Amino acid sequence: MKAIKYTGLAIFIAALSIFTATLFLGDFKASKSTINEFIETKGIKSELLKKELLTVISDTKFNNSIAFSSAIKTAINKSNSYYDALIEKYDSEKNWDKKGEQFQYKVSNVGGITYDLAKKSGKGFVVENRGLLWWLTFGMGIIGALLFILPNLILLGKPGIKNDHIYHNAATSRGWIAWGVMIYLVIFYLLLYFAPYYVVNWTFILDPISKALNGGPASQWFVYGFLYCVIMIVMGVRMYIKYRHNKYQIMRTTSVLFFQIVFAFLIPEIMTSLSMPGYDFKNAFPLDYDFFFEWNLKSLTSSGGIGLFILVWGIVLTLVVVPLMVYFFGKRWYCSWVCGCGGLAETLGDPYRQNSNKSLLAWKTERWIIHGVLALSLIMTLVTLYCYFSGADSFIGIKSQWIKDTYSFFIGAWFAGVIGTGFYPIFGNRTWCRFGCPLAAYLGLVQRFKSRFRITTNGGQCISCGNCSTYCEQGIDVRAYAQKGENIVRSSCVGCGICSAVCPRGVLKLENGPEEGRINPTEVLLGNDVDLIELAKQNRKAS
Amino acid sequence: MEHVVIIGNGISGITAARHIRKLSDKKITVVSTETDYFFSRTALMYVYMGHMKFEHTQPYENWFWKKNRIELKKGFVQHVDTTTSSLHFSDNSILNYDKLIIATGSKPNKFGWPGQDLNGAQGLYSKQDLDMLEKNAPNNKVCKRAVIVGGGLIGIEMAEMLLTRDIPVTFLVREDSFWNGVLPAGESDMINRHIREHHIDLRLGVNLKEIKDDGNGNVKSIVIAETGEEIECNVVGLTAGVSPNIDFLKESAIETGRGIKVNRFLETNIKNVYAIGDCAEQHEGIGQRRPIEAVWYTGRMMGEALARTICGTPTKYNPGHWFNSAKFLDIEYQTYGWVWAQPKDGETNFYWEHADGNKCININFNKNTNKFIGINTFGIRMRHEIFDRWLTQEQTVDHVLTHLKDANFDPEFYSQYEKEIVAKYNSENNKQLKVKSKSWKRIFA
Ligand SMILES: Cc1cc2nc3c(=O)[nH]c(=O)nc-3n(C[C@H](O)[C@H](O)[C@H](O)COP(=O)(O)OP(=O)(O)OC[C@H]3O[C@@H](n4cnc5c(N)ncnc54)[C@H](O)[C@@H]3O)c2cc1C
Ligand code: SF4
Ligand code: SF4
C-alpha cells in the first residue's frame, strides 16, 4: 500500500514538473498576415508599434512564450514611451491639441494584447501534441494524486478521525514542503493574474476541451476553472476517504463539488457557447464584486430575457435568498456547501486547516479587515452605480474607474487569489474567507444577529483538549466556549463541522434550532449543582 | 490584600484562580513544578500523535495571566508549614499565604514491581512523561515493542499513541475483560474486540511479575506472573491507575488518607487550607461517587465551588448527576447517571448493540419502578442536558426510550438508531413503545 502511495506521489510530481516545464516549450511564430490581422482587430494605431511588430516579431521564431511575450512587451513599451515623450513635449509646449492626439496611440492593456498575440502564435511541440501533453500533465497528475490518496482507505485504518502526524509532517506543519508549495502557488497566481501570456501553453493543452464545451479556444480563465474542478474532485476523493465515517462531511463535500462543477464551470461554459453571458448563478454579490460594473450591466441589459433574468436573480440572491438561508441554516449553507472559494478551501485546503491563527489579536484584526472590505465593496458599487446612471465619472470625490481598478487589483487578485489561496500552506485554508470576503462579512452579520444556527456545547463534557480550536479553519477558539458550556455563535463560523468531527468527547453539534436559547451564557457549568437562586440572593447581599 | 496561594496549575487550581479573580480582588499566586502555563493534561496523547503541538493544549494565551493578575511561580513545594502559613520550596525559597489551596493532582501508581524504575518504564501523567515517551519511543527502531500494564483509560490512550508510530503493543490487563470493573460485559467485550481489531496484543487476566534489566539500566523485557512468559520490549507503560500526589505533605499538620481529607466545603482540618481536584478526598463519597474523583470536570467544579467559598459565599461542592466520557481508539463513550459493571439489587440493564459491533447503548433501570438510573452510550453521542433533566425528574426508562431522539447529539445526517433500539426493548419487555420524533420544544423545556 505504501509502495502504491509513493509511486503515486512520484507520478504526480513528474506530472507537475512536466506541467511546469511546458511553459518553456514550443515555438512561437507569427506570420505577417497574422500580425496585420491582429493590428486590425485590436485597432492598434501606433505606427511605431505596427512597424515593430512587423519587423521584430513577424516571421521570427521564438523558442518559448517567455521570449515571445517579452519581445511583444518590449515593442509595446517602446511605442508607449515614444508617445509618452511626445505627450510630455507637447505638454511643456502647452500644445494641448497635439498632446490630446497622442493618447490614441498608446496601448493600455499590455498584458491582454501580449496574451492574445501569443495565443495566436503558438506553434510546434505543444500545439501539435495537445492530447499527449494533456495526458502527461493533467492525466498523469490525476492518476498520481489518486494513487497517492486511495491507499489511505487501508492505511488510515478503521474509519475515524486520523490526524496522526499532521504536526510531524513538513507539508502540513509549515515545514519546508509547505513553504515550497506556497511559493509555487503564489507564482501560479501571479502568472495567472498578472502575466497570463507566460502560461499560454497551458491554454493550448486545454483548447480541445474548451472547444468541445463552449466552441472557443481556452483562455487562462478556462485553464483556471478546469484546474479548479480537477483539483476539487481529486481532493474531494481525499475528503471522502478521510471523513468516511462522517455523513455531514460526505454530504457537504458532494454539495461543493456539485456546485463548482455544474454551476461555476459547466453552466457558464454552456451559456457562452449559446452566446449568452456566462454566469455563475450561485456567485453572489459582493463576492461577485463586478456584478454591478458597467460592462456587466451593459452586457446583461443587452442580452435580452436571460440577461434581465440574471440581473434580477443576482439582486434577489443577495438581498433575499442569502439572508433567508442564513437565518434558517447559518452561513454554512453558502460558505461550506455552495461557494467555490469555500469548496477549494474544504478540499485542496483541508490538509492546512490547522494553520489558521487562533489568537485574540487575529480575531480583532479579522473583524477590522473583513468589515473594511465589505464597506469598500459597497462604496465601490455605490460609486459605480451612480456613475452608470448619471454618466459622471466620479462620485463623492471618488473616481469610478480608479476604485474599480484598485479593488480588482488588491482585493480581487491579490487578496482572493495570491494571498487567499497561495498562502494556504502557511496561514491556513480560509485566509480569504476569514479576513477578506465581503460576502462572508455580510453573511456573518446575519448569522451573528439573526439566525437559527449555532454550535451546541454538550453540557459539561468538554475536557479542554483543544482539538476543536486547532482544527477550526476560521481560527475560532472553539474550546474557549465549549469549556465554559457555552454555545458557539460566531459570525465567522462557516459551519464546516470539523470541530464537531475532531472532538473526542462528543461535545459539539452544529444545529438549527429556535433562536431563543441559542446563546446561553452559563454562570455555572452543567453538573455543578449550586443552588442558583440561593447564589443570586447571596451575591446581592454581598454587594 | 489577602494572598491566596494555589499549589498546582491543573484544571482545578486554575479554575479556582480564575473564579477567585472574577469574584474578588485578592492577590493570587499559582505554583507549579510542571509547566509555566496551564495546559490540558487530557490532550497529552494528541501531542505525541502529532494532532496538536503542545502549545495547542494551553487553553489560555500567555498574556492571560498577567492581564488577570494571576501570578505564576515555578517551583516545587517541599513542605507546607501551617503554623507559619508558609510554603517551603526545594530551592529553599519561601512563600507566605493567607489562604492555601492544594490542587496537586495525581501521580501514576507503581506497585513495587521489580524493575519499575528502569529507563523505559514510565507512566503517562505529566508533560515530563510526554517528553520522556518521545525519547523512549520516538519510532519503532528505538522501541521495537511496548508493553502496557493496566487496562484503564490512560492505558488504552497510551496504546493508541504508540500505534501511531507503528510500534507493536502488548497490553496486559489484570481483569478478564477490558475495564470490566466499570463497564458491563457487553460494552467491555465490544472494546476487547475493538482493541484487537487495532492489532493490539491484548492479554486479559494477567499481571506483571517483573521488568528485566538489559544490564545498562534499560528495560529489556517483562515477565507475566501467571504464565512466566517473557516479552521483549523497550518501553513499559505503567498505567495501573493513579493516586493523589501528596507525598510532600507527610510532615505537615494537614490530615491525609489516600488523599487530602476535606469536607463538603473542601476545607481541610487546618483553617484556611483547602484541597480540590484529584488530590482531595471526601470524608465520605457524595451520593454514589467515590471519595476521590480523579476526573477533569470534578476538579473544575470543585474549583468553581471553592472560589465562591473563599470569596465570602460559603458553597458546598455539590456535584449533580454523574457523567463522564472517554474515547477508546475510534469509539466514543459517554455516560450519564449510573451504570454499574453488575446491576445492583433491584436494577436491571437493557443492552442494544448495532450489527457493526461499534455502537451500543446500555440503560440501567429499576426493575420494579422502571425508574431510569443511567446510560452508557458507545458510538452515539447523547445530549448531556436532556439526560441530566431526565435524571432529576426521575423519569422511567419507557419515557427515556420514547424520547430518545431528543437526546441524540450525533452530527446532522448521521443514521439514527432509536427505532431499532426501541424495537429491541419492546420485544424483550413485551411493550409497545413508539419513538417520538425530536422536539425542540421539549429540548428547551
Ligand atoms: C493522559 C491522561 C488523560 C486523561 N483523560 C481524561 C479524560 O478524558 N477525562 C477526564 O475526566 N479526566 C481525564 N484525565 C484525568 C484528569 O486529567 C485529571 O483528573 C485532572 O487533570 C486533575 O486535575 P488537577 O488540577 O486536580 O491536577 P493536575 O492536573 O495533576 O495538576 C496538578 C499540578 O500540581 C503540580 N504539583 C504537584 N505537586 C506539587 C508540588 N509539591 N509543588 C508544586 N507543584 C506541584 C503538578 O506538577 C501539576 O502540574 C486524564 C489524565 C491523564 C494523565
Ligand atoms: S467553529 Fe467549527 S464549524 Fe465553525 S468554522 Fe470552526 S471548525 Fe468549522
Ligand atoms: S475538542 Fe471537544 S473536548 Fe476538546 S476542547 Fe474542543 S469541545 Fe472540548
DSSP symbols for B184-223: -HHHHHHHHHHHHHTT-EEEES--EEEEEE-SSSBEEEEE
Q: pLDDT at position A516, please?
A: 87
For A424-461, give the secondary structure using H, E and C: HHHHCCCHHHHHHCHHHHHHHHHHHHCCCEEEEECCCC
First to last CA, chain A: 68
Residues of A in contact with B46 (CB under 8 A): 163, 465-467
**Residue with grid cell 483538549, as numbered in its chain:** A465
Q: pLDDT at position A535, please?
A: 55
Is A188 within a domain?
Answer: yes
Closest chain B residue to the Cα of A510, Cα to Cα: B411
Position A52 confidence tier, pLDDT thresholds 50, 70, 90: confident
| CA distances to A242, A303, B163 from A167, in Å | 17, 53, 16
Q: pLDDT at position A530, please?
A: 62
Q: pLDDT at position A517, please?
A: 83
**Considering A380, A414, A449, which residue would you say is the last residue of a domain?**
A449
Domain B121-240 CATH (choose: 3.50.50.60, 1.10.510.10, 3.10.310.30, 3.40.50.1260): 3.50.50.60
Based on the domain organization, do A278 and A379 belong to the same domain? yes
C-alpha cell at B368: 420494579
Q: Do B198 and A524 touch (CB under 8 A)?
A: no
Shortest-distance atom of ligand 1 to CA B32 = 44
Q: Which of B367, B386, B368 is nearest to B377 (CA)?
A: B386
Question: Averaged over A438-444, what is the pLDDT?
Answer: 97
Q: Which of B50, B304, B381 sits opposite A165 (nearest CB)?
A: B50
Is A396 within a domain?
Answer: yes
Q: Which of A228, A525, A51 is nearest to B303 (CA)?
A: A525
Based on the domain organization, do A358 and A483 belong to the same domain? no
Task: Name the phi and psi angles at B350, rounded to 5.
Answer: -115, 125
Residues of B in contact with A502 (CB under 8 A): 51
C-alpha cell at B313: 459565599
Based on the domain organization, do A274 and A417 belong to the same domain? yes
Based on the domain organization, do A318 and A370 belong to the same domain? yes
Q: Do B414 and A359 touch (CB under 8 A)?
A: no
C-alpha cell at A410: 488588491
**Considering A91, A123, A155, which residue would you say is the last residue of a domain?**
A123
Residue A248 CA to ligand 2 center (angstroms) comes to 13
Based on the domain organization, do A435 and A471 belong to the same domain? no
Q: pLDDT at position A534, please?
A: 57
C-alpha cell at A304: 435580452
Q: pLDDT at position A543, please?
A: 43
CATH superfamily of B3-107+243-310: FAD/NAD(P)-binding domain (3.50.50.60)
pTM of the model: 0.95
Residue A342 reports pLDDT greater than 60: yes
Residues of A in contact with B58 (CB under 8 A): 466
Q: Do B197 and A506 touch (CB under 8 A)?
A: no
CA–CA separation, A221 and A200 (whole Å): 11
Based on the domain organization, do A191 and A113 belong to the same domain? no
CA–CA separation, B150 and B123 (whole Å): 11
Q: Who contacts B396 (Cβ-Cβ below 8 Å, separation ≥6)? A: B365, B369, B370, B371, B372
**Helix, coil or strand: residue A328:** helix
Q: pLDDT at position A106, please?
A: 87
Residue A323 vs residue A522, higher pLDDT = A323
Q: Which of A375, A521, A353, A542 is nearest to A445 (CA)?
A: A375
Rounded average pLDDT per 10-residue block, chain B, 445 residues: 97 98 97 97 98 98 97 97 97 97 97 96 98 98 97 96 98 97 97 97 97 96 97 98 97 97 98 98 96 96 96 94 96 98 97 97 97 98 97 98 98 97 97 96 91
Based on the domain organization, do A444 and A473 belong to the same domain? no
Question: Averaged over A326-333, what is the pLDDT?
Answer: 97
Residue A431 reports pLDDT greater than 80: yes
Residue A533 reports pLDDT greater than 80: no
Based on the domain organization, do A328 and A355 belong to the same domain? yes
Cα angle A514, A516, A520; round to 5:
115
Q: Are strands B77-81 and B70-74 parallel, antiparallel or unpaired?
A: unpaired
> Which residues form the pocket of ligand 1, taking CB atoms under 6 Å from any ligand atom?
A 463; B 7-13, 31-34, 41-42, 44, 76-77, 103-106, 124-125, 154, 157, 245, 248, 277-278, 294-297, 299, 326
**Considering A425, A449, A473, which residue would you say is the last residue of a domain?**
A449
Structural domain span for residue A499: 450-542
Fold that domain B323-443 belongs to in CATH: Enolase-like; domain 1 (3.30.390)
A244 vs chain B: nearest CA distance in angstroms?
Answer: 12
In eight-state DSSP terms, residue B437 is P
Is A147 within a domain?
Answer: no
A113 vs chain B: nearest CA distance in angstroms?
Answer: 50
Indicate which residue's Cα is closest to atom 31 of ligand 1.
B10
Total structural domains within chain A: 3
Q: Do B49 and A164 touch (CB under 8 A)?
A: yes
Q: What is the pLDDT of residues A128-187, one digit of tens each?
A: 999 999 999 999 999 999 999 999 999 999 999 999 999 999 999 999 999 999 999 999
Q: Do B308 and A529 touch (CB under 8 A)?
A: no
Is A255 within a domain?
Answer: yes
Percent of chain A beyond pLDDT 70? 97
Residue A469 CA to ligand 3 center (angstroms) comes to 8
Residue A204 reports pLDDT greater than 50: yes
A331 vs chain B: nearest CA distance in angstroms?
Answer: 16
B44 vs chain A: nearest CA distance in angstroms?
Answer: 8
Q: Which of B37, B4, B313, B341 is nearest to B176 (CA)?
A: B341
Q: pLDDT at position A102, please?
A: 87
Is A400 within a domain?
Answer: yes
Residues of B in contact with A528 (CB under 8 A): 301, 304-305, 318-320
Which of B24, B52, B318, B442 should one mutate to test binding to chain A, selecting the residue with the greatest count of A CBs within 10 A?
Answer: B52
CA–CA separation, A249 and A355 (whole Å): 20
CA–CA separation, B365 and B352 (whole Å): 14
Is A259 within a domain?
Answer: yes
- ipTM here: 0.96
Segments making up each domain of chain B, as ranges:
3-107+243-310, 121-240, 323-443
Residues of A in contact with B52 (CB under 8 A): 167, 466-467, 470
Q: Do B50 and A166 touch (CB under 8 A)?
A: yes
Residues of B in contact with A526 (CB under 8 A): 320, 384-385, 388
